[in-house]
Chains A and B, each alone.
Chain A
Amino acid sequence: MTIALQDTPFDPGVLLAFFSRGRTETGAIVTFTGIARADGGKSEVLELEAYPGFTEGEIRRIAEEARVRFSLHDLMVIHRVGKIKPGAPIVFVATAAGHRREAFEAADFLMDYLKSKAPFWKKEHGPAGEKWIEPTERDHADVARWDG
Chain B
Amino acid sequence: MAKVLLFGPLRDIAGWREKDVRANTVAELKAALTAEDAALGAALNGKGVQVAIDQRIMRNDTGLRANAEVAFLPPMSGG
By a CB distance below 8 angstroms, the chain A residues around B71 are 51, 54
Q: Is the CB of A132 within 8 A of B5?
A: no
Is there a chain B Cβ closer than 8 Å to A133's Cβ?
A: yes
Q: Who on chain A is nearest to B17 by CB?
A: A49
Of the four ranges (under 10, 10 to 19, 20 to 34, 35 or more), the interface on chain B belongs to 10 to 19
Give A75-108 as 1s and 0s: 1 = Cβ < 8 Å from B's Cβ atoms: 0000100000000001100000000000000000
| Interface assignment of A43: CB less than 8 Å from any CB of chain B | no
Q: Is A34 an interface residue (CB 8 A)?
A: yes
Q: Closest A-chain residue to B52, C-beta based? A: A54
Q: Are B55 and A121 in contact (CB under 8 A)?
A: no
Q: Check A51 against B9 for contact (C-beta < 8 Å).
A: no
Q: Which residues of B contact A120 (CB under 8 A)?
A: 76-79
Known: A49-B11, A132-B8, A134-B75. 11 other contacts (CB 8 A): A48-B79, A51-B52, A53-B55, A54-B52, A54-B55, A114-B79, A116-B78, A119-B76, A121-B7, A121-B9, A132-B9
Query: Is A42 positioned at the interface, with any CB of B under 8 Å from its CB?
Result: no
Chain A residues within 8 Å of B, Cβ to Cβ: 34, 48-49, 51, 53-54, 57, 79, 90-91, 114-123, 132-135, 139
Interface residues of B (CB under 8 A from A): 5, 7-9, 11-12, 52, 55, 71, 73-79
Q: Main secondary structure on chain B at its contact with chain A? A: loop
CB–CB A122/B77 < 8 A = yes
Cα A76 to Cα B76 in complex, Å, equals 22
CB distance from B9 to the nearest CB of A (A): 5
CB distance from A81 to the nearest CB of B (A): 9
Per the bound structure, the CA–CA distance linking A57 and B71 in Å amounts to 15
How many angstroms from the CA of A48 to the CA of B7 in the assembled complex? 11
CB-defined A-B contacts under 8 Å, sample of 16 = A34-B79, A51-B73, A79-B79, A114-B78, A114-B79, A115-B78, A115-B79, A116-B78, A118-B76, A118-B78, A120-B76, A121-B7, A121-B8, A121-B9, A132-B8, A134-B77
Cα distance A132–B77 in the bound complex, in angstroms: 8
